[in-house]
Structure 1
């Protein structure tokens, strides 16, 4: 599948995990099959916009939030470390995000 499919799947997983939801619970909220949710999260299924909208609603987030900071692949030049870091952070719990931010700030102080 495409890189975009992978990115959206990771974001869905991150939002779901931060809310403490199982795939089963999200599937029930969305009216979708649990197997389908898993396939979307792993980037194995290219979900329709209707399904993406149902998933976003099940997560209680807007489509804007789900798709924020995604640039077209053609617009990228070289490694996209900020996006990769953002994707990594999206999958973590709030406390883990805070710890990593503090570590990053300390590392930057050491390099200046």
Structure 2
């Protein structure tokens, strides 16, 4: 089975969290069921074009933005940055600040 539903689901979750919305709030705005949003985010459901349009409208993003770099080159800077962002988005703000400080220390050490 394709990983595409999981990738799309992760991107929907990331955009939803960036907007500060719960699954329930996104479902309400998109006029979809909360359970369906959860299933989309977990990659358990193949989204219909209609539901993708509702979700992107609710998130105020373009279809292009949702589908951008779905199959990026693993050696590209864009892919690496998207992986870093994906990992950090699920962490608390405190964890993010600690990781930022560690990153600064690592870069300072490397640049010596």
TM range (shorter): 0.7 to 0.9
Aligned position for 1:6: 6
What are the equivalent positions in structure 2 for 1:1-112 lying under 5 Å apart?
Answer: 2-71=2-71, 82=80, 83-91=82-90, 99=97, 100-101=99-100, 103-112=102-111
Question: Relative contact order, CA 8 A, sep 6+: which one is greater?
Answer: 1
- What SS does structure 1 have at the residue aligned with 2:108? helix
Contact 2:27 2:33 in 1 (8 A): yes
Question: What are structure 1's unaligned runs of at least 5 residues?
Answer: none
* Post-superposition offset of 1:96: 6.8
Contact 1:8 1:67 in 2 (8 A): yes
Task: Work out the CA distance in 2 between the residues paired with 1:2 and 1:90.
Answer: 24
Task: Work out the CA distance in 1 between the residues paired with 2:49 and 2:61.
Answer: 15
**TM-score computed with the length of structure 1 as normaliser:** 0.72
Residues 64 and 50 (structure 1 numbering): CA distance in 2 closer, same or farther, change over 3 Å?
A: same
**TM-score computed with the length of structure 2 as normaliser:** 0.72
Greater C-alpha radius of gyration? 2
What CA RMSD, in Å, does the superposition of the two structures yield over aligned residues?
2.9
Residues 15 and 110 (structure 1 numbering): CA distance in 2 closer, same or farther, change over 3 Å?
A: same
